[in-house]
Protein backbone atom coordinates (compact mmCIF):
# COMPACT_ATOMS: atom_id res chain seq x y z
CA UNK A 1 0.00 0.00 0.00
CA UNK A 2 1.29 3.47 -0.94
CA UNK A 3 0.79 6.37 1.43
CA UNK A 4 -0.89 9.39 -0.17
CA UNK A 5 -1.74 12.59 1.61
CA UNK A 6 -5.09 14.25 0.96
CA UNK A 7 -3.34 16.83 -1.21
CA UNK A 8 -1.61 14.11 -3.26
CA UNK A 9 -4.95 12.47 -3.98
CA UNK A 10 -6.62 15.75 -4.83
CA UNK A 11 -3.78 16.86 -7.09
CA UNK A 12 -3.93 13.64 -9.12
CA UNK A 13 -7.70 13.79 -9.35
CA UNK A 14 -7.67 17.42 -10.44
CA UNK A 15 -5.27 16.54 -13.22
CA UNK A 16 -7.61 13.74 -14.35
CA UNK A 17 -10.61 16.09 -14.11
CA UNK A 18 -9.05 18.17 -16.88
CA UNK A 19 -9.40 15.20 -19.21
CA UNK A 20 -13.00 14.72 -18.11
CA UNK A 21 -13.78 18.34 -18.97
CA UNK A 22 -11.89 18.13 -22.26
CA UNK A 23 -13.78 14.99 -23.28
CA UNK A 24 -17.08 16.61 -22.27
CA UNK A 25 -16.30 19.73 -24.30
CA UNK A 26 -15.26 17.72 -27.37
CA UNK A 27 -18.39 15.56 -27.21
CA UNK A 28 -20.67 18.54 -26.60
CA UNK A 29 -19.26 20.59 -29.47
CA UNK A 30 -19.29 17.58 -31.77
CA UNK A 31 -22.82 16.73 -30.66
CA UNK A 32 -23.97 20.26 -31.38
CA UNK A 33 -22.56 20.17 -34.92
CA UNK A 34 -23.97 16.74 -35.75
CA UNK A 35 -27.20 17.47 -33.87
CA UNK A 36 -27.75 20.64 -35.89
CA UNK A 37 -27.40 18.68 -39.13
CA UNK A 38 -29.87 16.10 -37.80
CA UNK A 39 -32.26 18.88 -36.80
CA UNK A 40 -32.26 20.29 -40.33
CA UNK A 41 -33.01 16.84 -41.72
CA UNK A 42 -35.60 16.15 -39.01
CA UNK A 43 -37.69 19.20 -39.94
CA UNK A 44 -37.07 18.82 -43.66
CA UNK A 45 -39.98 18.69 -46.10
CA UNK A 46 -38.59 15.40 -47.45
CA UNK A 47 -40.35 12.48 -45.81
CA UNK A 48 -37.52 10.00 -46.47
CA UNK A 49 -34.97 12.26 -44.81
CA UNK A 50 -37.22 12.74 -41.80
CA UNK A 51 -37.63 8.98 -41.42
CA UNK A 52 -33.89 8.34 -41.58
CA UNK A 53 -33.15 10.93 -38.89
CA UNK A 54 -36.07 9.67 -36.79
CA UNK A 55 -34.54 6.19 -36.93
CA UNK A 56 -31.11 7.61 -36.02
CA UNK A 57 -32.53 9.33 -32.95
CA UNK A 58 -34.57 6.33 -31.85
CA UNK A 59 -31.61 3.96 -32.18
CA UNK A 60 -29.10 6.04 -30.26
CA UNK A 61 -31.53 7.23 -27.62
CA UNK A 62 -32.70 3.66 -27.10
CA UNK A 63 -29.22 2.13 -26.96
CA UNK A 64 -27.28 2.15 -23.66
CA UNK A 65 -24.30 4.47 -23.95
CA UNK A 66 -21.99 1.78 -22.58
CA UNK A 67 -23.03 -0.61 -25.34
CA UNK A 68 -22.43 2.11 -27.94
CA UNK A 69 -18.91 2.68 -26.59
CA UNK A 70 -18.23 -1.07 -26.70
CA UNK A 71 -19.45 -1.31 -30.29
CA UNK A 72 -17.11 1.48 -31.34
CA UNK A 73 -14.06 0.46 -29.32
CA UNK A 74 -14.25 -3.30 -29.79
CA UNK A 75 -16.32 -3.51 -32.96
CA UNK A 76 -14.49 -1.19 -35.36
CA UNK A 77 -11.16 -3.09 -35.05
CA UNK A 78 -13.00 -6.12 -36.46
CA UNK A 79 -13.20 -4.16 -39.72
CA UNK A 80 -9.53 -3.19 -39.62
CA UNK A 81 -10.10 0.21 -37.97
CA UNK A 82 -7.91 0.55 -34.89
CA UNK A 83 -9.19 3.20 -32.55
CA UNK A 84 -7.74 4.73 -29.38
CA UNK A 85 -9.76 5.00 -26.14
CA UNK A 86 -9.91 8.82 -26.42
CA UNK A 87 -11.22 8.67 -29.98
CA UNK A 88 -13.73 5.93 -29.19
CA UNK A 89 -15.03 7.80 -26.14
CA UNK A 90 -15.29 11.12 -28.00
CA UNK A 91 -17.03 9.51 -30.97
CA UNK A 92 -19.50 7.55 -28.85
CA UNK A 93 -20.37 10.54 -26.68
CA UNK A 94 -20.72 12.77 -29.74
CA UNK A 95 -23.26 10.38 -31.31
CA UNK A 96 -25.07 10.12 -27.97
CA UNK A 97 -25.16 13.91 -27.55
CA UNK A 98 -26.26 14.58 -31.14
CA UNK A 99 -29.35 12.39 -30.80
CA UNK A 100 -30.51 14.16 -27.64
CA UNK A 101 -29.61 17.70 -28.69
CA UNK A 102 -31.40 17.32 -32.02
CA UNK A 103 -34.59 16.34 -30.20
CA UNK A 104 -34.25 19.13 -27.64
CA UNK A 105 -33.89 21.69 -30.40
CA UNK A 106 -36.67 20.14 -32.50
CA UNK A 107 -38.98 20.63 -29.54
CA UNK A 108 -38.01 24.31 -29.51
CA UNK A 109 -38.68 24.67 -33.24
CA UNK A 110 -42.07 22.96 -33.04
CA UNK A 111 -43.10 25.03 -30.02
CA UNK A 112 -43.04 28.20 -32.13
CA UNK A 113 -46.35 29.34 -33.66
CA UNK A 114 -46.87 28.53 -37.33
CA UNK A 115 -47.27 32.26 -37.86
CA UNK A 116 -43.50 32.66 -37.47
CA UNK A 117 -42.99 30.65 -40.66
CA UNK A 118 -45.76 32.57 -42.41
CA UNK A 119 -44.22 35.88 -41.39
CA UNK A 120 -40.88 34.87 -42.86
CA UNK A 121 -42.53 33.69 -46.07
CA UNK A 122 -44.44 36.97 -46.38
CA UNK A 123 -41.10 38.80 -46.33
CA UNK A 124 -39.91 36.75 -49.28
CA UNK A 125 -37.44 34.66 -47.27
CA UNK A 126 -36.43 31.22 -48.44
CA UNK A 127 -36.92 28.29 -46.04
CA UNK A 128 -33.21 28.34 -45.16
CA UNK A 129 -33.38 32.08 -44.45
CA UNK A 130 -36.48 31.55 -42.33
CA UNK A 131 -34.63 28.94 -40.30
CA UNK A 132 -31.46 30.97 -39.91
CA UNK A 133 -32.99 34.38 -39.26
CA UNK A 134 -36.37 33.72 -37.66
CA UNK A 135 -36.88 30.19 -36.34
CA UNK A 136 -33.55 28.95 -34.99
CA UNK A 137 -32.65 32.04 -32.90
CA UNK A 138 -35.99 31.76 -31.08
CA UNK A 139 -35.81 27.97 -30.77
CA UNK A 140 -32.29 28.05 -29.33
CA UNK A 141 -33.33 30.74 -26.86
CA UNK A 142 -36.24 28.58 -25.70
CA UNK A 143 -34.10 25.44 -25.36
CA UNK A 144 -31.01 27.04 -23.83
CA UNK A 145 -31.89 25.80 -20.35
CA UNK A 146 -32.46 22.16 -21.39
CA UNK A 147 -29.30 22.29 -23.51
CA UNK A 148 -27.19 23.35 -20.53
CA UNK A 149 -28.98 20.73 -18.42
CA UNK A 150 -28.01 18.06 -20.92
CA UNK A 151 -24.38 19.15 -20.66
CA UNK A 152 -24.53 18.18 -16.98
CA UNK A 153 -25.67 14.68 -17.98
CA UNK A 154 -22.90 14.49 -20.56
CA UNK A 155 -20.20 15.35 -18.02
CA UNK A 156 -21.41 12.55 -15.76
CA UNK A 157 -21.65 10.16 -18.71
CA UNK A 158 -17.91 10.58 -19.40
CA UNK A 159 -17.32 8.27 -16.41
CA UNK A 160 -18.16 5.35 -18.71
CA UNK A 161 -15.03 6.14 -20.76
CA UNK A 162 -13.00 4.66 -17.89
CA UNK A 163 -14.10 1.18 -18.98
CA UNK A 164 -12.32 1.73 -22.31
CA UNK A 165 -9.07 2.57 -20.51
CA UNK A 166 -9.26 6.33 -20.99
CA UNK A 167 -7.55 8.05 -18.06
CA UNK A 168 -10.30 10.38 -16.94
CA UNK A 169 -11.50 11.05 -13.41
CA UNK A 170 -13.02 7.67 -12.54
CA UNK A 171 -10.19 5.66 -14.13
CA UNK A 172 -7.63 7.65 -12.15
CA UNK A 173 -9.68 7.18 -8.99
CA UNK A 174 -9.66 3.40 -9.51
CA UNK A 175 -5.87 3.43 -9.83
CA UNK A 176 -5.49 5.56 -6.70
CA UNK A 177 -7.85 3.33 -4.75
CA UNK A 178 -5.92 0.22 -5.78
CA UNK A 179 -2.71 1.88 -4.59
CA UNK A 180 -3.98 3.32 -1.31
CA UNK A 181 -6.92 1.09 -0.31
CA UNK A 182 -8.81 4.21 0.79
CA UNK A 183 -12.04 3.98 -1.20
CA UNK A 184 -14.05 6.36 0.96
CA UNK A 185 -11.47 9.14 0.70
CA UNK A 186 -10.72 8.61 -3.01
CA UNK A 187 -14.28 8.24 -4.27
CA UNK A 188 -15.50 10.89 -1.87
CA UNK A 189 -13.14 13.37 -3.52
CA UNK A 190 -14.32 12.20 -6.95
CA UNK A 191 -17.93 12.85 -5.94
CA UNK A 192 -17.00 16.34 -4.74
CA UNK A 193 -15.20 17.10 -8.00
CA UNK A 194 -18.17 15.98 -10.09
CA UNK A 195 -20.41 18.10 -7.89
CA UNK A 196 -18.12 21.11 -8.36
CA UNK A 197 -18.26 20.67 -12.14
CA UNK A 198 -21.99 20.01 -12.42
CA UNK A 199 -23.64 22.13 -9.73
CA UNK A 200 -22.92 25.55 -11.34
CA UNK A 201 -24.27 24.26 -14.66
CA UNK A 202 -27.37 22.85 -12.95
CA UNK A 203 -28.08 26.19 -11.30
CA UNK A 204 -27.47 27.97 -14.59
CA UNK A 205 -29.91 25.65 -16.40
CA UNK A 206 -32.60 26.26 -13.77
CA UNK A 207 -32.06 30.01 -13.95
CA UNK A 208 -32.33 29.99 -17.75
CA UNK A 209 -35.53 27.92 -17.62
CA UNK A 210 -37.04 30.24 -15.02
CA UNK A 211 -36.16 33.31 -17.05
CA UNK A 212 -37.62 31.77 -20.19
CA UNK A 213 -40.82 30.82 -18.35
CA UNK A 214 -41.23 34.39 -17.15
CA UNK A 215 -40.57 35.76 -20.61
With beta carbons less than 8 A apart as the criterion, state whether 93 and 29 touch: no
**181 φ, ψ (degrees, to nearest 5):** 55, 45
d(CA 153, CA 19): 16
Tens of pLDDT, residue by residue, the chain (215 residues):
567 788 888 899 999 999 999 999 999 999 999 999 999 999 887 888 999 999 999 999 999 999 999 999 999 988 888 899 999 999 999 999 999 999 999 998 888 887 777 777 777 777 778 888 888 888 888 899 999 999 999 999 999 999 998 889 999 999 998 888 888 999 999 999 999 999 999 999 999 888 877 76
Residue 68's closest CA among 160, 176, 191? 160
3-class secondary-structure state, position 167: coil
Element (H, E) at 18: helix 6-42
**Cα separation values, 196 from 60, 112, 156, 174, Å:** 29, 35, 12, 20
Task: Give the residue extent of every domain in the chain.
Answer: 6-214
3-state secondary structure 99-155: HHHHHHHHHHHHHCCHHHHHHHHHCCCCHHHHHHHHHHHHHHHHCHHHHHHHHHHHH
Tell me the CATH number for domain 6-214: 1.10.3720.10
pTM of the model: 0.91
d(CA 68, CA 110): 29
Amino acid sequence: MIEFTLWDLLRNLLFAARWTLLLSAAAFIGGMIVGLAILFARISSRRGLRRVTYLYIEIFQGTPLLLLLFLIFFGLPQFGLRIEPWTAAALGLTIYASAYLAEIWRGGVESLPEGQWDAGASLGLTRWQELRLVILPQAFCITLGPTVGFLVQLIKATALASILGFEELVRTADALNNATFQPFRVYGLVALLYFAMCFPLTRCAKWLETRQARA
